[in-house]
Amino acid sequence: MPRLLRTVVAMTVLATLLPVALFGDMENTDAQSAGMPMELNMMGIYLSEQMGLSPLPPDTNEYQSISIPNGFIKDGLFGYSILPIGHLYWKDVGVWETSPLRETINLGGDVGVTIFATREEGAGNVNCDFYFYIMRGTEVLLKLESMDRTIQNGIDNRVDAYGRFPANNDTTIEAGTKLSLMIQARCNGGAIMKFGSTEVPSGFTFASNSLQLQNIFMDREKITVEYKDAFMVPWIELYTELRVDGVIHPNEQMMSQVNSINRTREIIWERDNPPANYEVFISMSYHYAGIYNISEIRTISVHKPHISTLDTMKDILGQAFVYLLLGAFIILGIVLLSRYRKGVWRKRFKELPLHMQELTRHKKKKEWKRSHKQLKKEGRQGKREEKERKKNEDDGEFSLFKRKDRAPSRSEKATSIALTVETAEEIEL
C-alpha cells in the first residue's frame, strides 16, 4: 500500500511539471515578442542640391537634374560581339545622403519613394526598371522597386515605389550616422531625373521620431518649448504655431537658444502672462505648410509668486549681515588709521625739547607744528641766501662736478628746533 501511494504521488507531480517544462519557454518567447511598437510621426525627406537629403521641402522653382544612364549594351551573344545582340544592365544613378544625425532615431511604418524622370522632347520613349535602397550609412535597410515604367519624352513622368519597415518600429539610425538613398536604373535608353524644386519634389516618406516635442513651460514673462531635432534644422526654417487660449502668436516674436544640459533646443515667446489657467497649443513641422506636423495641447497654470514671512526675514537678515560686515570693515579701517596717526605723533613729540614733554597733547601738537613751520621757513630762507652767495662769488675756476651740500640729519633738525624754540622764548622774555 505505501508503494502504491508513492507511485500515485510521483505520477501527479510529473503530470503537473511536464506542461511547464514543455510550454513554459514558448509562452515566454511569445510574451517577449509581443512588444508595443514605438509611436512615430510621418515625415518627408527630399533630394536636394549637392546630392543631399533634407527634411525641408523644396521652396524654389529651379530644379536639379542627373542623368539616368542607358542600360542597353550591344555585347553580342554570350559576350561576343559577333551578332548585333544586346542586353539590359543595371546602372547606378546616384546616392543622396543627409548630414550625420545629431540624435538616434527610429524608423518605421510605410515607405513611399517618388521621383520624376523625363526624356528630351522628340527623343522617343524608353522603358525603365528602378531599385531604391534606403541605407544606414552604406548598410541597406530597405529595398524598393518599380518595374516597367515608361518614360515619355517632353513631360515629367512620376515614378513611385512602396515598401514597409519591419514591425515594432525598432529600426534605428544612430547619432553620427547618415541616412542615405541610392537609386539604380535599368533602361533601354538614356533619361534625365529631376529633383529639388516645388514642381518636382523627388524624395520619400517614412515614419520617425526625428522631431520631438519635449516639454512646455510657462511663467509670467514667457512661454518656452523644448524640442529635439536629429537633423538640426535652423529653427527659423521650421513651421511653428503657438495658440494661447485660441489666440495665435506670430513667429516673429520668437527667439531660440540651445539647452546644453539636456541637449535640447528652446523656442521662447516673450509675453505677459498674468496668474490664470491657459490652454496652450503648439505645433511643429519640417514642412513650411505644417504637413506631417507634431502637436500638443496642454493646460498650464501661472501662479502669483508667493513670498513667505520666513523668506522675507531671511532676506532682511541677509541684508543686515551685509551692512554689519561693511560697518565692521569701516570701523576697523578707522581704528587702524587712528593707531597709525598716534604712532606718527609719538615720534614727532620726541623731537621737542624736554621741558615741552610735560605739556598736554593738544599743546604739543601746536608747538610742533609752529616749530616745524618756522624750521621750514628758515630752511627756505637759508636756501635763498646760499643761492645768492654762490651767484655773487666769482673765483675764476670752473669745475664740471660740484659738490652738493649735505642735508642735515634728523638729530641736527631736532637740535635746530630746540634752539629755535629757546631763541623764541628768550625773545619773548
- List pLDDT tens digits, range 243-286: 999 888 877 778 888 887 777 888 898 888 889 999 999 999 99
Domain regions of the chain by residue span: 41-208, 211-302
- Choose the weakest-confidence range: 184-198, 213-227, 248-262, 325-339: 248-262
Closest CA relative to residue 133, chosen from 192, 181, 66, 200: 181
Q: What is the mean pLDDT of residues 311-323?
A: 76
Q: How many angstroms from the chain centroid is the CA of residue 325?
A: 40
DSSP state of 119: B
What value does the mean pLDDT take over residues 361-366? 73
Closest CA to 191 of 121, 131, 134, 133: 121
| 182 to 113, 151, 206: CA distances (angstroms) | 11, 20, 16
- Give the model's pLDDT for residue 251: 78
pLDDT above 60 (res 87): yes
Q: How confident is the model at residue 371 (pLDDT cuts 50, 70, 90)?
A: confident
Percentage of the residues of the chain whose pLDDT score is greater than 70: 77
CATH assignment, 41-208: 2.60.120.260
* pLDDT tops 80 at residue 331: yes
CA-CA distance, 426 to 375, in Å (whole number)? Answer: 17
**CA 97/CA 136 separation, integer angstroms:** 10
**pLDDT grade for 402, boundaries at 50, 70 and 90:** low
Query: For residues 244 and 79, is the Cβ–Cβ distance under 8 A?
Result: no
pLDDT at 312: 62
Q: What is the CATH number of domain 211-302?
A: 2.60.40.10
Range from 146-155, 339-348, 350-359 carrying the lowest mean pLDDT: 350-359
Instruction: For 320-363, give the DSSP string.
Output: HHHHHHHHHHHHHHHHHHHHHHHHHHHHHHTTS-GGGTTS-HHH
Q: What is the mean pLDDT of the chain?
A: 80
User: Cα(72)–Cα(112) distance, rounded to whole angstroms?
Assistant: 28
User: What pLDDT is recorded for position 83?
Assistant: 55
Q: How confident is the model at residue 5 (pLDDT cuts 50, 70, 90)?
A: very low
**Contact in structure between 140 and 126 (CB atoms under 8 Å):** no
pLDDT of 95 strictly over 50: yes
Q: What is the pLDDT of residues 208-228, one digit of tens each?
A: 999 999 999 989 888 999 999
What pLDDT is stored for residue 238 in this prediction?
A: 92
pLDDT at 32: 30
Question: Is the per-residue pLDDT at 25 higher than 50?
Answer: no
